[in-house]
Structure 1
Amino acid sequence: MSGNAKVEAYLSSKKESSSGEISKKFAELEEFYNKKLWHQLTLGLVKLVKLPEMQQGTELLNLYSNLITEMENKINPLSLVELAAAIMKQYSDPKEAIAFVEKIRPKVVDHQESHVYCKVLIAQVTLRQLEDKEATKKLLDETEKMLDEIDGVTPTHGKFYQLASELYCLTGAHADYYRASLRYLGCSDPPTDPTERTQQAFYLGLAALLGEGIYNFGELLAHPILESLKGTNLEWLMRLLLAFNAGNINEFESMKPLWSSQPDLLAKEIELREKIRLLCLMEMTFKRKAFDRQLKFEEVAEETGLPINQVEVMVMRALSLDLVRGSIDQVEQKVNITWVQPRVLDKTQLAAMLERLNAWCDDVDSMQKLLEEQAAPILTL
């Protein structure tokens, strides 16, 4: 049987044997195929594979072998991979699913986004079904280099970062999970299910607190997904993130009965105290005017809750992490800070910055008036 006859027989059979909406869909596909309207046929197929009735048994596998395989060269690469993503789910053997995508991959290799999408699909099966974390990590590392070559932000970026965040969650890589999840949220909509949204917000909050090298909470605090914690028994996490962002040691201590109920946080209590003290130092520096950033050891000790003999070590730690820049005067027991690492600011911090900018503008205005008043005698010399 020729390819055309095979397709026509399949479409006619499905149109006659199906009921309701499915029969109507196949009638439309038959019309598009007969008229060689490949674009409309592709759009129809993308919609068809999403219908629950088609996701039963081997319906999609039959659709592929009887129709799609005969017109793959007429389907745009991204749509072909989108169809493959639905079809591969009907393979009971994960290795067969991977082999199926590997068969599709050479057909879209010249289209970078589609090629990356194929790699992500293979990595999905490798992680979720084969549970091979090491192989998944290798695949994602290879894919990320290809992803960086794609201009702009595409839906494939979202799929990549979603899978990367799943991997880092399973391996306990808090900082990597935090960064991947924020990138995922930056190019995809958050889950619509309230329970999933709350869970993702909770995991993100924990990752921000526990992630090594994460001292900027502003981007997470500004994201709407944290709103899903409000009104739940996890709302305390949002308060804790705000306390860390402000370097508020007292709030952190007062909330201990809440955050210590979370085993992961309790196990990292020493690291959490170090992190919030470093953030406290950054916030102290941020609040000071540019010409008034000499902090006495006593001031730092009082704000951070550290004994005065441990202040120097903490400041050295902040300098080594490049959170701040400056110098330590051991004789005078002072820290001279010239720079603090930029952060995403919340509304309170922005208001404080606005106040300082207004004060700076007033100073500049006063200097201008002074020069105008004193310029006449100088110019007549």
Structure 2
Amino acid sequence: MASSNVLSYLSEQKKTSNKELAAEWTQIEELYNDKLWNELTIKMITFVNHPAFQNEDSLVQLYHNFISSFETKINPYGLVEIVSVIVSYIGEKKEAVEFLEKLKEKVKICEEAVWFCRVLQGQIYLEHLQDLEATKKIIEDLKEVLEESGNVTPVHGKYFLLASNYYRRVGQHSDYYRCGLQFLGCSLDEYPKEEWPQQAFFLGLAALLGDGIYNIGELLAHPILESLNGTENEWIVELLKAFNFGDINKFEKMKPQWGSIPDLATQEIKLRQKISLLCLMEMTFKRPSDHRSIKFEEIATETKLPLKEVEILIMKALAQGLVKGAIDQVSGVVNMTWVQPRVLSKDQVAAMATTLDAWIGSIVSMENLIEAKAAEILTN
């Protein structure tokens, strides 16, 4: 676009705008004339969010009549940030996807800008076009390149939000849980606080229902759970704590609450299997390393399982790598040697400290014994 056409557009906008908006246009015109592209980019990122432009016609005209004249001169990632607002107002969503496809070619010198375009396309496919296959392809294509990027980029948080929303939509609880936590790790400060309670509740459900999710302490340690305080879903925090400690009594007492949630009520058998495994892990964790021979009867009592099902429970725990050890069927005991590391609560850390104190005490006793025996040998 010729510079004169751009200036004509800017002049027209100043004439038809109110005093406040006209001053904004004047500042933009000055930045454009002085070719201060970085400052202009920063200005436009906020300007496209002005209340006067929150409609498709105004934003598309802004792009074609002004932004397109300098889009090759500014930071590619900044350009995508500007365009992300514009495409969100394009009513025909297939056109929005095509718009981003053309933009990808314009910003291809910057990998992060291209990734951002693809994430935006994925959001449109998922939220507006209901095209789960197209969304899945974008998530899978981006997963490897983002993992190999070597550092966390501004796109990572956006990608994990897209992926977690997709996995929640298709009911893949474990993937949703992992991506949800990764999203919070990247973008918690930018995430609207009014959305924290819902996200915390969904993550809690995913932690309970997700296959292979046994490190529930990771979620319990996250500040997002505090957003549930005083809400109708506050109970899920206590349920998560019950699972983290393998507290089957508490789990059963809370059935009126979790039983009212269809997703949990229909998976009661699965939930009982998970908390039984966590109970076995906790039993192993609490014991000193030299006292980890656990009788089947003890496990049956703690897990509330029939004695004949205890060996199956132990075999499942061994197969999933939650514990290591050997089963002595004749004696009816399992000799545990290792338990999978987890994020620990304060109480669990305190228990570990007690275990360490006992271990140190054993070492000191052994040292004293060796010294005493050594003295006897030397004096004889």
Please give the range of the TM-score, normalised by the shorter of the 2 chains: over 0.9
Shift of 1:376: 5.0
Letter matched to residue 180 of structure 2: S
Question: Which residue matches 2:51?
Answer: 52
CA contact under 8 A between 2:200 and 2:224: conserved in structure 1?
yes
**SS of match in other structure, 1:316:** helix
Q: Is the aligned partner of 1:192 residue 2:192? A: yes
Question: Which residue matches 1:7?
Answer: 6
Q: How does 1:15-94 map to 2 (within 5 A)?
A: 15-94=14-93
Question: Which residue matches 1:99?
Answer: 98
**SS of match in other structure, 1:338:** strand
Shift of 1:155: 2.4
Question: Which residue matches 2:222?
Answer: 223
1:13-58 residue CA offsets vs partner (Å, 9 max, x unmatched): 1122111332111111100111111111111111101222212242
d(CA) in 1 for partners of 2:128 and 2:265?
Answer: 32
1:329-369 residue CA offsets vs partner (Å, 9 max, x unmatched): 11000011111111111111011111111222222233334
CA contact under 8 A between 2:56 and 2:86: conserved in structure 1?
no
Q: Is the aligned partner of 1:164 residue 2:163? A: yes
Question: Which residue matches 1:321?
Answer: 320
d(CA) in 2 for partners of 1:360 and 1:94?
Answer: 64
Letter matched to residue 2 of structure 2: G
Q: How does 1:188-267 map to 2 (within 5 A)?
A: 188-189=187-188, 191-194=191-194, 196-267=195-266
Letter matched to residue 192 of structure 1: P
Shift of 1:189: 1.7
CA contact under 8 A between 1:54 and 1:60: conserved in structure 2?
yes
CA contact under 8 A between 1:25 and 1:44: conserved in structure 2?
no
Shift of 1:201: 1.0
Q: Which runs of 5+ in 2 are unaligned?
A: none
Change beyond 3 A, Cα 1:88–1:192: closer
Letter matched to residue 107 of structure 1: K
CA contact under 8 A between 2:56 and 2:90: conserved in structure 1?
no
Shift of 1:372: 4.1
1:189-248 residue CA offsets vs partner (Å, 9 max, x unmatched): 264343x22111111111110111111101100111111211122111111100000000
CA contact under 8 A between 1:112 and 1:150: conserved in structure 2?
no
CA contact under 8 A between 1:116 and 1:146: conserved in structure 2?
no
Letter matched to residue 137 of structure 1: K
d(CA) in 2 for partners of 1:42 and 1:93?
Answer: 26
CA RMSD of superposed structures (Å): 1.6
Letter matched to residue 181 of structure 2: L
Q: How does 1:300-319 map to 2 (within 5 A)?
A: 300-319=299-318
d(CA) in 1 for partners of 2:375 and 2:21?
Answer: 90
Q: How does 1:360-375 map to 2 (within 5 A)?
A: 360-375=359-374
d(CA) in 2 for partners of 1:244 and 1:205?
Answer: 11
Question: Which residue matches 1:273?
Answer: 272
Letter matched to residue 219 of structure 1: E
Shift of 1:10: 1.3
Shift of 1:378: 5.3
**SS of match in other structure, 2:188:** coil
CA contact under 8 A between 1:105 and 1:118: conserved in structure 2?
yes
Shift of 1:151: 3.0
Shift of 1:373: 4.4
Shift of 1:374: 4.2
Letter matched to residue 166 of structure 2: L
**SS of match in other structure, 1:74:** coil
CA contact under 8 A between 2:56 and 2:91: conserved in structure 1?
no
d(CA) in 2 for partners of 1:177 and 1:110?
Answer: 32
Q: Which runs of 5+ in 1 are unaligned?
A: none
Letter matched to residue 43 of structure 1: I
TM-score by length of 1: 0.96
1:103-139 residue CA offsets vs partner (Å, 9 max, x unmatched): 1101222322111111101111111111011111011
